[in-house]
Chain A
Amino acid sequence: DAGVIQSPRHEVTEMGQEVTLRCKPISGHNSLFWYRQTMMRGLELLIYFNNNVPIDDSGMPEDRFSAKMPNASFSTLKIQPSEPRDSAVYFCASRQGTNYGYTFGSGTRLTVV
């Protein structure tokens, strides 16, 4: 199994541009999570899906952030328009069930200049 696959690994963009982060979970995992890692706040949960349905998006910072999971094998996190304070590492993780650990992707390091 290739694990959780995220793309791109690094993204540098200008303030105001749209950014789309992508995630492919492990096949058979029914939950997918988007986390953001910053020095100040550590790992923060942004949103998670069960069986492709968004369950809790209370961690999404504001309307500039949106996430979709159109099918069991793909999810996107979009920031539009991006701002410098969005600079962080964004992790996607998937899980087989509530009694299992999460498998994390390698993360996308986003820099907004």
Chain B
Amino acid sequence: ILNVEQSPQSLHVQEGDSTNFTCSFPSSNFYALHWYRWETAKSPEALFVMTLNGDEKKKGRISATLNTKEGYSYLYIKGSQPEDSATYLCAFMNNQGGKLIFGQGTELSVKP
């Protein structure tokens, strides 16, 4: 069984706050770690695909880091805005096949 755990489950912050979430995944047989952003009533959209230990990716105010040896990834949002409100999903892919296993997500709410 491949477990992908995300914390916290939900987060409420004020506009302008910086925040971060954690994704933990199996450290063996690693192939890739994905982050997705899922707005209410829409479908998940890919943010990052990370494959190498120590990877850091950035898109605007959002960035992510990856530690494959210990099996965790962090997603950071700098200066949160109300439009950042969404559920952020991480997903793990091992080297045994091409399927993604998703975590339960972190639901972020940013209040103006």
Contact = CB atoms under 8 A, between A and B. Distances in A.
Interface of A: 31, 33, 35, 42-43, 45, 48, 50, 55-56, 91, 95, 98-107
Contacts of A98: 31-32, 93, 98
Interface residues of B, number: 24
Contacts of B100: 33, 45, 102
Contacts of A43: 44, 89, 102
Interface in B91-112: 93, 97-105
Interface in B64-112: 89, 93, 97-105
6 contacts: A45-B101, A101-B46, A102-B36, A102-B44, A104-B43, A106-B43
Contacts of A31: 98
A100 to B, nearest CB: 6
A108 B64 CA distance: 31
Chain B contact residues: over half helix, strand or loop, or mixed? strand
Contact of A33 (B45, B49, B89, B99): B99
B34 A101 contact: yes
Contact of A91 (B43, B45, B46): B43
B51 interface: yes
B104 A42 contact: yes
B17 to A, nearest CB: 26
Query: Which 3 interchain pairs have the tightest Cβ spacing?
Result: A101-B46, A104-B43, A43-B102
A103 B46 contact: yes
Nearest to B95: A98
Given A101-B47, A103-B46, 20 more contacts: A31-B98, A33-B99, A33-B100, A35-B102, A42-B103, A43-B89, A43-B102, A45-B99, A45-B100, A48-B99, A55-B98, A95-B98, A98-B93, A99-B32, A99-B51, A101-B34, A101-B46, A102-B34, A102-B46, A104-B44
